C-alpha cells in the first residue's frame, strides 16, 4: 500500500522539546496526535497540564501547521484506557496506508507501556524513544529541594494507590537457536570472515547449535538443513539480507534482536 502521509503520535504531560524536536528530526509530519489529560477540577481553565499542551501546539504549529494537530483528551495515567486510545489511532491511520511513528518517551509510564504494546500489535507502526541531552532541573541542591523531605530521599511520589494488575498479551520470543546463530553470523560478517554454508555450519556445531556435534565434513544434507532452519528464517524475519550472489548483511532489526535476546546474565547477578 502506498504511503499517503506521515503521522506522529505523542503524549503531553510536562514535556515540550521531547515531543517537538523528534518531529523536527523527522522533517515534520502530515498529522500529529497529541494525547493529553485535562484537569477535572478546571477542564476549561488554566492548569499546568493545559499550559504544556498549549505550548506544544504553539511550537508544532510552526512545523506542521495548526490544522494538522489533533487533540485527544484521555486519562493518560490509566494503562487500559491508554491502550484503547492508542490502538484506535494506530488502526485508523495504518488502515489509510499512512506511515505512523509513536513517541514512547513523551508521557507517563502507563502511556509508555501502552504505546510499546500497541506498536507491536499493529503492523507497520514505528515506535521510537527520545533520550534527554540537557535536563531542566540540574544540580544537587535543586534535586534535594524537590525530592527530599527533612534530609530523607522521597522521590516524586509521596503516596501511591494500590498496585493494579495489567492485562497480559502474549508476544512470542524469537527462537533461541535462531538468535544465537545470528550472533555467530554477525561476528563473522563484522570480522570479514567467510559466511559460506560450510563455514557457518562449522561454528554452529562448535557452539552446540547444530543437530549433531560431530566434526565430520559438511554434507549437502547439512547445507539444506542450514538453509531451511537458519538462513531462510533469518531472511523471512527481516534479520538478514542477501548482498549480491553470496554476500549477507545483518539488518538493523537483526542487530536489535542479537543485542537484546538470550544474553548471559550480567556478572554478579544470580542465574535464574
Instruction: Please state the domain extents for the chain.
Output: 6-134, 176-260
Q: What's the pLDDT at 43? A: 64
Nearest to 248 by CA among 232, 259, 263, 225: 232
- CATH class held by domain 176-260: mainly alpha
Nearest to 13 by CA among 41, 32, 37: 37
Q: What's the pLDDT at 45? A: 59
Say how far apart CA 138 and CA 147 lie, in whole Å.
12
Which residue is it, cell 535464574? 272
Residue 180 CB neighbour total at 10 angstroms: 17
Q: What's the pLDDT at 215? A: 66
* Model confidence, pTM: 0.77
β-pairing, 31-36 vs 240-243, is: unpaired
Alpha-carbon distance values, 158 to 13, 49, 91, 162, 173 (Å): 19, 20, 38, 13, 37
6-134: CATH topology is: Rossmann fold (3.40.50)
Q: What's the pLDDT at 1? A: 43
Q: What's the pLDDT at 211? A: 87
Q: E strands of the chain, at which residues?
A: 6-12, 31-36, 69-73, 99-103, 126-128, 148-149, 152-153, 240-243, 247-250
Alpha-carbon distance values, 140 to 123, 143, 146, 158 (Å): 44, 5, 10, 20
Below-70 pLDDT ranges, the chain = 1-3, 39, 41-46, 213-215, 265-272
6-134 and 176-260 agree in CATH topology: no
Cell digits of residue 130: 527520545
Q: What's the pLDDT at 272? A: 46
Amino acid at each position: 500500500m502506498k504511503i499517503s502521509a506521515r503521522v506522529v503520535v505523542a503524549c503531553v504531560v510536562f514535556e515540550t522539546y521531547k515531543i517537538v524536536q523528534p518531529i523536527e528530526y523527522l522533517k515534520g509530519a502530515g498529522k500529529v496526535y497529541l494525547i493529553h489529560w485535562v484537569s477535572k477540577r478546571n477542564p476549561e481553565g488554566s492548569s499546568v497540564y493545559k499550559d504544556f499542551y498549549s505550548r506544544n501546539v504553539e511550537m508544532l504549529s510552526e512545523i506542521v501547521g495548526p490544522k494538522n494537530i489533533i487533540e485527544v483528551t484521555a486519562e493518560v495515567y490509566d494503562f487500559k484506557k491508554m491502550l484503547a486510545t492508542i490502538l484506535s489511532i494506530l488502526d485508523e491511520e495504518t488502515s489509510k496506508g499512512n506511515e505512523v511513528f509513536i513517541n514512547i518517551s513523551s508521557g507517563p509510564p502507563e502511556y509508555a507501556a501502552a504505546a510499546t504494546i500497541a506498536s507491536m500489535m499493529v503492523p507497520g507502526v514505528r515506535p521510537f524513544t527520545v533520550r534527554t541531552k540537557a535536563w531542566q532541573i540540574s544540580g544537587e541542591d535543586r534535586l534535594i529541594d524537590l525530592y527530599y523531605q527533612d534530609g530523607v530521599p522521597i522521590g516524586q511520589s509521596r503516596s501511591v494507590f494500590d498496585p493494579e494488575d495489567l492485562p497480559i498479551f502474549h508476544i512470542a520470543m524469537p527462537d533461541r537457536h535462531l538468535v544465537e546463530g545470528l550472533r555467530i553470523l554477525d561476528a563473522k560478517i563484522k570480522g570479514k570472515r567467510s559466511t559460506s554454508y560450510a563455514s557457518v555450519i562449522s561454528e554452529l556445531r562448535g557452539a552446540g547449535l547444530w543437530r549433531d556435534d560431530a566434526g565430520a565434513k559438511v554434507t549437502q544434507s547439512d547445507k539444506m538443513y542450514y538453509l531451511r532452519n537458519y538462513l531462510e528464517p533469518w531472511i523471512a524475519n527481516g534479520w538478514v539480507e542477501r548482498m549480491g550472489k553470496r554476500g549477507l548483511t545483518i539488518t538493523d532489526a537483526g542487530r536489535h534482536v542479537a543485542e537484546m535476546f538470550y544474553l548471559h546474565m550480567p556478572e554478579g547477578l544470580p542465574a535464574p
